[in-house]
A and B are shown apart, each in its own frame.
Chain A
């Protein structure tokens, strides 16, 4: 087991290195960042000074090594725009995004999986057809447009929920959380729902397809022949079997939900990293872009490793060193 973990971590490290190089070259090699930092009518002297200060006069590979060296020390540079360390900037925004994403993904799973199992168990029932229609809509309607509709319906016309912002937060261990106040939940509800819809659709499809296939297998037939009720079969046999692909998707989708938060955060003015990256793209604030991408890549790699480990916990066949 330990060997397996070490092997996975080494792989993860390699992927991270490759990703950081790609991101670095992609972001630094194209265009000229110096034009963003200084005003166009600055003198050549000021220009050269600025270039030297940000290390932009060195060859690309040297810049990369400096970047990696700094990265290992937890220093990802300073934002051109905010003038503060990027790590600090991102860390101040990250809790808001994590909170939004977690609520969305967990909500989508808790509601989507049972509905999907039902739709797979009784595929011809009207309820199953309604569930599937909802999931097709959730899949195909762009997130940003649903967000607009939500704001229009609940904030502009209904006046029930706020259209944007984060609301009251409570500080726990120095991190601000909205989920601990009623006002915070009010602000969180619409963006979380918006972000959850796509994942909900995915969870419904995944568990429906899994259940439909499993219902035809001999495992279910044998359980039925042994007198188990359908409810028990769904809860104990089917749920346990489909939980394997669901955990995978949960993990992988957590990452992509984090990315999609970019759109939701922009619509609902949610002060997370997603909004930060859009702003930094618009202002060509490269250190922020690089740091964000490296962070996302790191998150992805971490999640992948975590998914592999949970996988092994759920599926006894994959547990290394447990063969008889």
Chain B
């Protein structure tokens, strides 16, 4: 199957007073129609900026400085703003972390949905609202007609996030970028929403890029996983293979710190050290200072290796005969 989205060598840099922050630096991946891709990394790894870059929503002083984003036959990097706007919300849409912050507190759910409908289609209020009703129904909101008249603060956290998802699905997009969409929710609601998303994706054929720091969440949902570290993809491949035999020591560290993979009552292993400052990255592998397997050769940037449908960027990959 041909790719829906093909990102190649994407670079997004922030030109701050203190220097250039290379938040995304040479990221490549592709998404097939209907595929769910998990984009995993700690905060500051560049996973969210990657998502914003796809939609052309990077705020100054940030800017996409290189690479290409091919989507349905167009390069989104060079596309003029008005054409890009026509794609946003219609072909590609986005769900954010906290619906309390994303929904406008002083507009009703109906008003906000109507604005999004009318951004792309010249419809009457009535036709627009029936589209909104349909979208609310699809995400499993009970009594959607009365919810249209509600203000966000009158809904529960889970309901609010469902409304945000309904807004993202209004125009039945080909791709949804979900940036930590369940992090702000209670654990039980989290599981519910993930379950609903999985159903929605399967029935509608929408592809999803699920951005998260939580490997456990994404493993139940994603077909493929991309692990990002310091602005680069350090490992990618089918979810099951990566979980079974991670190649990159960083992925290994992430997996080891997932609670369900450890016996209860034992301290969780943690990756030593902390995320490096993107302002002063050492040359070579950025993970080397925290890596138990690092040697002298790690002072040089490892190239991307590729085999069996997976990639990794490491001088000392695990599970590969040297």
Q: From B154, which residue of chain A is reached at the shortest CB distance?
A: A324
Residues of A within 8 A of B183 (CB): none
Whether B139 is near chain A, meaning CB under 8 Å from some CB there, is: no
Tell me which of A225, A315, A316, A322 contacts B93 (CB under 8 A).
Answer: A225
B106-137 vs A, Cβ < 8 Å mask (1 yes, 0 no): 11100000011001100000000000000000
Determine the interface band of chain A, counting residues with CB < 8 A from chain B. Answer: 20 to 34
Residues of A within 8 A of B153 (CB): 316-317
- For the complex, what is the distance from the CA of A225 to the CA of B151, rounded to whole Å? 21
Whether B232 is near chain A, meaning CB under 8 Å from some CB there, is: no
Distance in angstroms from B35 CB to nearest chain A CB is: 20
- For the complex, what is the distance from the CA of A233 to the CA of B65, rounded to whole Å? 27
- A-B pair count, CB < 8 Å, reads 91
Whether B150 is near chain A, meaning CB under 8 Å from some CB there, is: yes
Whether B24 is near chain A, meaning CB under 8 Å from some CB there, is: no
Please determine whether B106 and A315 come into contact, CB atoms closer than 8 angstroms: yes
Please determine whether B98 and A218 come into contact, CB atoms closer than 8 angstroms: yes
Tell me which of B97, B105, B164 contacts A316 (CB under 8 A).
Answer: B105
Tell me which of B59, B88, B151, B154 contacts A226 (CB under 8 A).
Answer: B88
- For the complex, what is the distance from the CA of A222 to the CA of B160, rounded to whole Å? 13
- Contacts known (A227-B89, A227-B116); A222 close to B154, Cβ less than 8 A: no
Whether A181 is near chain B, meaning CB under 8 Å from some CB there, is: no
Whether B36 is near chain A, meaning CB under 8 Å from some CB there, is: no
Whether B288 is near chain A, meaning CB under 8 Å from some CB there, is: no
Tell me which of A216, A236, A316 contacts B151 (CB under 8 A).
Answer: A316
Please determine whether A232 and B119 come into contact, CB atoms closer than 8 angstroms: yes
Which B153-191 residues have C-beta < 8 A from chain A? 153-155, 164, 167-168, 170
Q: From B113, which residue of chain A is reached at the shortest CB distance?
A: A226
Binds B, one of A99-107, A237-245, A256-264: A237-245
Tell me which of A217, A221, A229, A237 contacts B57 (CB under 8 A).
Answer: A221
A205-217 vs B, Cβ < 8 Å mask (1 yes, 0 no): 0000000000011
Q: From A317, which residue of chain B is reached at the shortest CB distance?
A: B153
- For the complex, what is the distance from the CA of A217 to the CA of B106, rounded to whole Å? 15
Distance in angstroms from B108 CB to nearest chain A CB is: 8
Whether A228 is near chain B, meaning CB under 8 Å from some CB there, is: yes
Please determine whether B88 and A232 come into contact, CB atoms closer than 8 angstroms: no
Please determine whether A240 and B119 come into contact, CB atoms closer than 8 angstroms: no
Please determine whether A219 and B103 come into contact, CB atoms closer than 8 angstroms: yes
Whether B312 is near chain A, meaning CB under 8 Å from some CB there, is: no
Tell me which of B97, B104, B154 contacts A219 (CB under 8 A).
Answer: B104
Whether B14 is near chain A, meaning CB under 8 Å from some CB there, is: no
- For the complex, what is the distance from the CA of A227 to the CA of B173, rounded to whole Å? 12
- Contacts known (A216-B59, A218-B101, A240-B107); A227 close to B120, Cβ less than 8 A: yes
Whether B228 is near chain A, meaning CB under 8 Å from some CB there, is: no
Distance in angstroms from A323 CB to nearest chain B CB is: 7
Please determine whether A225 and B89 come into contact, CB atoms closer than 8 angstroms: yes
Distance in angstroms from A95 CB to nearest chain B CB is: 35
Whether B304 is near chain A, meaning CB under 8 Å from some CB there, is: no
Please determine whether A219 and B102 come into contact, CB atoms closer than 8 angstroms: yes
Whether A314 is near chain B, meaning CB under 8 Å from some CB there, is: yes
Please determine whether A229 and B104 come into contact, CB atoms closer than 8 angstroms: no
Distance in angstroms from A62 CB to nearest chain B CB is: 52
Which A297-317 residues have C-beta < 8 A from chain B? 314-317
Whether A129 is near chain B, meaning CB under 8 Å from some CB there, is: no
Whether B86 is near chain A, meaning CB under 8 Å from some CB there, is: yes
Whether B22 is near chain A, meaning CB under 8 Å from some CB there, is: no
Q: From B151, which residue of chain A is reached at the shortest CB distance?
A: A316
Which B65-101 residues have C-beta < 8 A from chain A? 85-90, 93-94, 96-98, 101
Which A148-187 residues have C-beta < 8 A from chain B? none
Please determine whether A222 and B102 come into contact, CB atoms closer than 8 angstroms: yes
Residues of A within 8 A of B87 (CB): 227
Residues of A within 8 A of B106 (CB): 240-241, 244, 314-317
Whether A224 is near chain B, meaning CB under 8 Å from some CB there, is: yes
Whether A66 is near chain B, meaning CB under 8 Å from some CB there, is: no
Residues of B within 8 A of A314 (CB): 106
Distance in angstroms from A235 CB to nearest chain B CB is: 10
Whether B49 is near chain A, meaning CB under 8 Å from some CB there, is: no
A282-304 vs B, Cβ < 8 Å mask (1 yes, 0 no): 00000000000000000000000
Please determine whether A226 and B93 come into contact, CB atoms closer than 8 angstroms: yes
Residues on A lying within 8 angstroms of B by beta carbon are 216-219, 221-229, 232, 236-237, 240-241, 244, 314-317, 322-324
Q: Apart from A222-B103, A227-B116, A315-B105, what are 13 other A-B pairs with CB-CB below 8 Å?
A: A217-B101, A218-B96, A218-B97, A218-B102, A221-B57, A227-B90, A228-B89, A236-B107, A240-B107, A244-B106, A316-B105, A316-B108, A317-B153
Residues on B lying within 8 angstroms of A by beta carbon are 55, 57, 59, 85-90, 93-94, 96-98, 101-108, 115-116, 119-120, 150-151, 153-155, 164, 167-168, 170
